[in-house]
């Protein structure tokens, strides 16, 4: 099973839990390490789940240490593009310095992918349309139009179960379970 199928099999609460775990890990890397670390390649395949479904960031091959005096690494485009197309901050392609903002951008794209079920490299996101531009006009009133259909199906199933449950909890003799 690939990572896209794995994410699609997670329910809403599991996806939120993964998102929170990744946010905590980024907060640790950026603010609580003795020398802050920029991951530079945050994407679904670099998020691992353990047996308890706790998410961990992996693959630090492109990571950079920040100088103690600033929140951007003194690296320029001479090192080439860092990250993965679709997840990397667009400014990196124009030679922008590495910064924690790049990881935050990647985290936002990761969240959009987790809750829409669409990859930022999907064929429909060409020219001026991107995953971000696909989601933005639907917020907040039309969110159900772009949410992962699996999450919507889970919502319908829960509502149906919620409507049935009170009837099943009543025994024929009028006593409640």
Six-digit token string for 98: 């590495």
Six-digit token string for 137: 């006009």
Please report the beta strands in 34-145, taking only residues with DSSP state E, as ranges in sequence order.
37-38, 47-49, 55-57, 64-65
Six-digit token string for 31: 């603010």
Active-site residues: which are they?
A: 41
Ramachandran sector of residue 81 (left: φ over 0; alpha: ψ -120 to 50; beta: rest): beta
Q: Are 83 and 102 in contact (CB under 8 A)?
A: yes
Which distant-in-sequence residues (6+ apart) come within 8 Å of 137 by Cβ?
none
d(CA 80, CA 83): 10
């Amino acid at each position: 099973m690939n990572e896209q199928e794995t994410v699609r099999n997670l329910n809403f609460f599991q996806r939120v839990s993964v998102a929170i775990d990744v946010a905590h890990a980024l907060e640790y890397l950026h603010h609580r390490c003795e020398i802050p670390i920029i991951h530079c390649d945050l994407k679904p395949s670099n998020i691992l789940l353990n047996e308890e479904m706790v998410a961990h960031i992996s693959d630090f091959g492109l990571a950079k240490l920040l100088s103690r005096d600033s929140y951007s690494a003194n690296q320029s485009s001479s090192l080439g593009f860092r990250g993965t197309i679709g997840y990397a901050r667009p400014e990196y392609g124009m030679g922008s310095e590495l910064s924690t903002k790049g990881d935050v951008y990647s985290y936002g794209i990761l969240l959009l992918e987790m809750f829409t079920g669409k990859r930022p490299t999907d064929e429909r996101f060409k020219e001026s349309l991107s995953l971000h531009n696909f989601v933005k006009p639907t917020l907040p009133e039309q969110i159900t139009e772009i949410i992962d259909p699996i999450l919507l199906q889970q919502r319908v199933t829960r509502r149906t179960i919620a409507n049935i449950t009170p009837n099943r909890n009543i025994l024929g003799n009028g006593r409640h379970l």
